[in-house]
Chain A
Amino acid sequence: MKKLYILIFLFLPLLANAANDVTQLEGSFKVGPAIILIFILSLFVLVGIVFRAKDTTDYYAAGRGVSRIGSGMAIASNWMSAASFLGMAALMYGTGYHGLSYVVGWTGGYVLLLILMAGQIRRYGKYTAADFIGDRYYSKSLRAIGAVIAIVISIAYAVGQFGGIGLMFKWVMGINYPLAVIIGGSVVLAYTLISGMLGVTKNMQIQYVIIITSFMVPLFILTAKFDYFWLIPQLGYGSVVQDIVDGVQLTDKAGMFNSLGHHFALVPSPEYAMPWDPSTGQTFFQWMAIAFSLMIGTAGLPHVIQRFYVVPKARDARWSVVWGLFFICLLYWSAPVYSAFGKILSANPEVGLLSPDAIVVYTAQLGNVHPLIVGLLAAGGISAAFSTTSGLLVAGASAFAHDLYVKVINPAARPKTQMTIARLSTILMAIIIAAIAMLDLALIAQLVAIAFSMAGCTIFPLFLLGIWWSGSNRAGAKAGLIVGGTITLISLTYLIGARAGWMLPYNSFITYYLGAWYFAWIGAPLAIATNIIVSKLTPETPLEIRKFLIEKVHS
């Protein structure tokens, strides 16, 4: 811990001198935020070294000695990514009430996860999603497919994170977006290679505290500064929302300005809060489809499911969901506050177009929050992306090295070879992710939502039926995967086609009903139905698997 104090001691004078450089929304290199960022990342590595896992078993079972609250914090930290920290406020800023479908989807899914899976997954006792799929469906090829799906989902999920990292590095360093993605991506890769196996659970708890603190502090300042109920900003901003609907006249908040000198005022803007407002271009169907897809995606994400293997017993797995969800909701109650203040503070047309994905930071800047606190906020956003990306790269690399290479390709591989393969696959994944992130395909939250729909169409049906119906067999699982995978491919082809300007058949019909952010609304039910039908028509699940389900998972 002595190293930690030395680090803090070294950085404090630098911070004190760097408070005055965040004066413009964009622009040059910002020393203060850069120092805060370096300090926080160094802290994570240091904590990782101090609490590092001694061996692989310790790494996997890191939660054994952790309390339910600690485990809940780890779940929340693992979950809270750039999509939560930056992306949700961005969606509500741009599309108002429609953005709340993401809030509901990303929290409501935990109820499904708890009542349908958490305890049972823990009792099943496998370490990875591919392990479960290969074992439950007694198939080496399904294990391999499960590993490939886990890698693809990790990549899709991480693309949004790299987007967030790129945006924040762009903001901190004053450089262009592609260069920021390369630099930010390199830093996160180095960070993962250094700290990927270090003190994961303890680090996640510290990351949670930093992320939530950096996110909350500006909210108290903003609500107090603009004369709203500041003791609980998550309730106080209700009046901000109503003010947006009714409009704020210059006289209503006389003497209050944003950092550019504009009055705290805007014309009546009911489109911000009214459901599926025509001006947002979003519909009732899309709201429902997104919420549903994100919820079942939550219950099918490999890195989320994996958290339940590292708690001591099934009861702890259940209660850790309650605490995890509570800690997640602290952030999800807060994100709409940024979008509401951002709406008013950037209402003047002279502010110009702002990147919605950076609206959290812009709002704090426009609200004249102290530059160091804005810097802390940006560093919190990067930390959120780092913690999730690091976890995804490790999960993707272990899926490749453990589930594919060792279990399928080369069972005789030595541990050293396995480690080399894991490192190489981490680097390869980072390169692929950075390349896709540079295309800037969509908003961060939308990119992440693709991963959720993929998980909802592929892994969720396998887990749901695998746990709750012994009749689901290998043939059914394969058939369900083919259907879920096909829907995924169709949707992604149309997404890429739309960006590339291709004119594909039934373009408007498919891009609307199989939208890339919500295709699981139909993909998952079809995959489940196919799995059931094919399972009924083919030989039954072997007795030993059924016995295991009854005796170990449900008894």
Chain B
Amino acid sequence: MMGRFPRPKRIRTRLTLYYVGMVAGVLALYFAGVSVLLFWQASNILKSLGAEDLETVKGLLYHGEDGQVNLREDYHHHSDWKQVQERLLEILSPGGAILYRNERLGDRTVGGPPFPGEGEHGYSGRRAKMSDGTPIILISRKYDLQGETILIRVGYSEDLIWNELRGTLLVLVLASPLILAGTAYAVYATVGRALAPVSKMAHRAEQINSERLSERLPVENEEGELGHLAGVFNAMLSRIEQSFEQLKRFTADASHELRTPLAAIRSIGEVALQDHAGPAEYRDAIGSMLEEVNRLTTIVESLLVLSRADSGQIDMQVSVFPLAALVRESAALLEVLIDDKQISFTLLGDESVGVQGDRLYIRQAVINVLHNAVKFTPAGGSISALIRCEGDSRVRLSISDTGPGIPSAHASRIFERFYRIDEARAAGQGGAGLGLSVAKWAVSENSGEIGVTSVPGSGAQFWILLPAVGCSASGAHSRN
């Protein structure tokens, strides 16, 4: 909406102006009401006084010798009635001919020709205009004066009323600036106090940056709207701080991970150049460097995948497929590793349960979790996979191993990027510590959850929860 005036920017100013405007409007209405009421009352009083006056006038009328209507004025010479002094008197014949006008009226007329029925049944009281335009209150009545019908009109200028009311209204009008100023001050102060937390919050928020993410907004009253707002912002800050911390750690870890093979390449190269070695040694050195390059490549590729995943650049191709077949396929891929360690692998559960998601990424997640289990299960151990419906719409795949398990301190962090329980051990195995974090990403991206429960010493159980299709039909005979 376009206003004629620019809207003030500050809520405080706006509210103050708004309230002052409202109060001014209410005051104006009030004044108008009071004026109308007082005027009405005063004109009623004037009308009843006028009626009395009419009777008095009627009693003072007489026909002069010339047949003219006359008024005995002497009666009023001592009158201190303002109304009587101010009275405008006109006597008309029913036809409208002027029979008498008092001095004050002069040659003006009070109300023009009589309207039909004026003053016939009791007193007629009305507002009227004199011939010179002066507004008056006019009271009239028909009388019989010695056999002749006459219309007596008594008028009073409305100025009489206004003079009475002027004082009262003046007091009111003079008081209104005070009322408005008081309102403005009260609103300005109250709003200022109510909004004080906002400026405090803004001030504090200005100081929050990437180095000082631990700062929080002040919460003055948790129940209040602003307190709620501050709370919501603080929760958001916590989440940002958390992901920022994660990012910082990730960057630091990534640089560390990249630095390790780089250092190896450098040392191998430098040492190889120092010696006067033969072709076989040089070949060996180059081969060793290439191995490290492969490691670097793997890390960089995984990082690219994860960063692309983080920024939501990977599209999921959703389909429905049987989970058991996927697990079997993944196990078959790793079969050679499983067999090599003489690990027994079993898969139990409902064959028909389908999963809804991107098969490729879920397969990757399952392979990574399974590979992790194979890696940590000692020779001759066992790995068992179990597929079980949870409710109508979710299926849980549990993969239990007989490895050393995961100390509880590590269980929550095992899905973090580059996180390894045993730094030295995993580094030698060539993994970048990204398998489980890739699995976690792939599962959550497909509306699933991943986790691990473990009793140290008696194996770990990884579980993956995924959206299921076909659980409602077979859920009745799923085991618990």
**A and B: real partners?**
no
* A residues with CB within 8 A of B: none
